[in-house]
Amino acid sequence: MPNILILGGTTEASALAVACAEGAIPTTLSYAGRTASPRTQPVAVRVGGFGGAVGLAAYLRRERITHLVDATHPFAARISANAVAAADTAGVPLVALTRPAWRAQAGDRWQRVPDVAGAVEALGGPPLRVMLAVGRMHVADFAARPQHAYLLRFVDRPEAPPALPRHHLVVDRGPFTVDGDRRLMEAHGIDLVVAKNAGGGGAAAKLHAARALGLPVVMIDRPPLPPRRELHDVATVLDWLDHGAERGV
């Protein structure tokens, strides 16, 4: 009897959980516990770290997990590295459900940077009104560029105000809409957008809105991830769950 563990936190992870529930496949979705009230799921949910790769391997054995699906965000590099190591240690087949990186299209004005530090570097110019749509974890890095007026968007209201002298905080969780993001950018007179190359549809609205408004985008490339089998849609993962894992493909 299969027993699936999905490492979640993305739109695709939630879609896979729905499919597993519909197929009555015993499944648990795992969150790190970064947000106050993560989306409810139609499968069992566990919240919190495992205690590194060793802890995850022990969890896989203890819970008799038969298949591990890493459906985490492309910037969640540590858990993805842990998943590769833990799956190998525990002898559990692993597949990543991930979305291809966004690519600049006609009309896009992207400046690609390798990481968050590169984005901070790129903001060395005169004061701008910047939509910093990269969440809460890296906002402190931008305190090195206090000259800008920042529009921030967090999932939860923070205990302490962000350490940016000029900022406006929006508390909202995606997926977002193009109209909503375009209205937000116009209302705040945004000059430039900073984004992570998350891929997928849940965070893409701001790119379409920036394109429509002719705004430049500082696009942060993804961190390196260990080699692993990567699939890009729920149907292919379900097929792998049915057959692929046994065939070792």
Please report, as ranges, the residues that interact with ligand NAP according to CB under 6 A: 7-10, 30-32, 34, 49-52, 55-56, 72-73, 75-79, 82, 135, 196
On whether the CB atoms of residues 203 and 179 are closer than 8 A, the answer is no
Binding ligand 3Y8 (rule: CB under 6 A), the pick from 113, 120, 134, 194 is 134
In the complex, what is the shortest distance from the CB of residue 243 to ligand NAP, in angstroms, rounded to a whole number? Answer: 26
| Residue 100 to residue 225: CA distance in whole angstroms | 13
Strand blocks (E) in the chain: 4-7, 27-31, 44-47, 67-70, 94-97, 109-113, 129-132, 149-154, 167-171, 192-196, 216-220, 230-231
Nearest to ligand NAP of 19, 57 (CB atom): 57
- When asked if residue 211 is in the footprint of ligand 3Y8 (CB under 6 A), the reply is no
> What type of residue is 160?
A
Q: Which of 97, 10, 96, 92 lies closest to 56, judged by CA?
A: 92
- The interface mask with ligand 3Y8, positions 77-116, x = CB under 6 A, is ----------------------------------------
- When asked if residue 39 is in the footprint of ligand 3Y8 (CB under 6 A), the reply is yes
In the complex, what is the shortest distance from the CB of residue 1 to ligand 3Y8, in angstroms, rounded to a whole number? Answer: 26
Binding ligand 3Y8 (rule: CB under 6 A), the pick from 19, 59, 164, 174 is 174
Which of the choices ligand NAP, ligand 3Y8, none does residue 148 contact, using the CB cut-off of 5 to 8 A by kind?
A: none
Packed helices 52-62 and 77-90: angle between N→C axes, nearest 10 degrees: 50
| Residue 237 to residue 23: CA distance in whole angstroms | 13
| Residue 84 to residue 100: CA distance in whole angstroms | 19
Listed ranges 103-111, 119-127, 134-142, 210-218: which one lies at the site for ligand 3Y8 (CB under 6 A): 134-142
| Residue ranges in contact with ligand 3Y8 by CB under 6 A | 9-11, 14, 31-35, 38-39, 73, 133-138, 153-156, 173-176, 196, 198, 200, 202-203, 206
